[in-house]
Amino acid sequence: MNRLVYASAVVIFLLPCAAPAQETAQGKLTSHTAATVASAPEAPKQEYLIKFLAKEVENGRVINTREYMLHTRAGANASDSAQIKTGSRVPIATGSFGGNTSTSLVNTQFTYVDVGINLQCYRIQLFGDRVSMAVKAEISSYDQSVSTTQPVIRQNQWEGSVTMPIGKTETIFSSDDVVSKRTLQVDLQVTAVR
């Protein structure tokens, strides 16, 4: 009987040391999961240069172009993202208080609005010779032609998924300006970085 208890104790102490354990999705440790994780190499991530061209077009002729570039990666996990944000903060008076007498001061409260360019790419994935991604583009500007006490902000915003051929430029968003005969368009080009 002593031999049976001794043999059982040896097996119990040796089993946890047989292979490194790894936690599974259910929270239990298994040596099979550890072997699978250790042998699976991480998928390489391809690097890309993404170029945005924001164009103002009038009567079929480009009258203004702004170029924005970012460097990002695409991988199997689709969690990579990139963003460009540039512009100014415009103060807008939202209220005032004080000034009950002729000698007291009036305090004005302000809210600040971001004006400029905000470009985001996320869920970037490679599919053969094409790159798929979700894109959000927001272009806003302060309209100085309107004379009011509060600023007028012109805003164009687009969001959607695109699949781009590598190395080619395509228009992904386009909209007419509501106060002029101009069109605002965003072109996108994706180039593989070697």
Q: Convert the pLDDT of each residue in 65-120 to its tens digit.
A: 999 999 888 765 556 688 899 999 888 888 877 766 666 677 888 888 889 999 99
Looking at residue 174, its pLDDT comes to: 92
Residue 17's pLDDT band, with cuts at 50, 70 and 90, is very low
Report how far residue 46's alpha carbon sits from residue 102's, in angstroms, rounded to the nearest whole number: 67
Residue of 134, 169, 140 whose CA lies nearest to 154: 140
What is the reported pTM? 0.66
Looking at residue 137, its pLDDT comes to: 92
Looking at residue 119, its pLDDT comes to: 93
Angle, CA 146 vertex, CA 144 and CA 150 arms, to 5°: 85
Give residue-wise pLDDT tens across range 36-51.
Answer: 444 444 555 778 899 9
Is the model's pLDDT at 30 over the cut of 50? Answer: no
Residue 15's pLDDT band, with cuts at 50, 70 and 90, is very low
Residue of 82, 182, 174, 60 whose CA lies nearest to 135: 82
Looking at residue 185, its pLDDT comes to: 92
Strand, helix or coil for residue 106: strand
> In whole angstroms, how far apart are CA 89 and each of 40, 92, 112?
48, 10, 6
Residue 26's pLDDT band, with cuts at 50, 70 and 90, is very low
Looking at residue 20, its pLDDT comes to: 42
Residue of 96, 135, 90, 88 whose CA lies nearest to 111: 90
Give residue-wise pLDDT tens across range 116-171.
Answer: 999 999 888 888 889 999 999 999 888 777 667 777 888 889 999 999 999 999 99
* Tokens coding 47: 């690097």
Q: What integer is the mean pLDDT of 15-34?
A: 42
* Tokens coding 62: 């480009």
Report how far residue 81's alpha carbon sits from residue 120's, in angstroms, rounded to the nearest whole number: 7
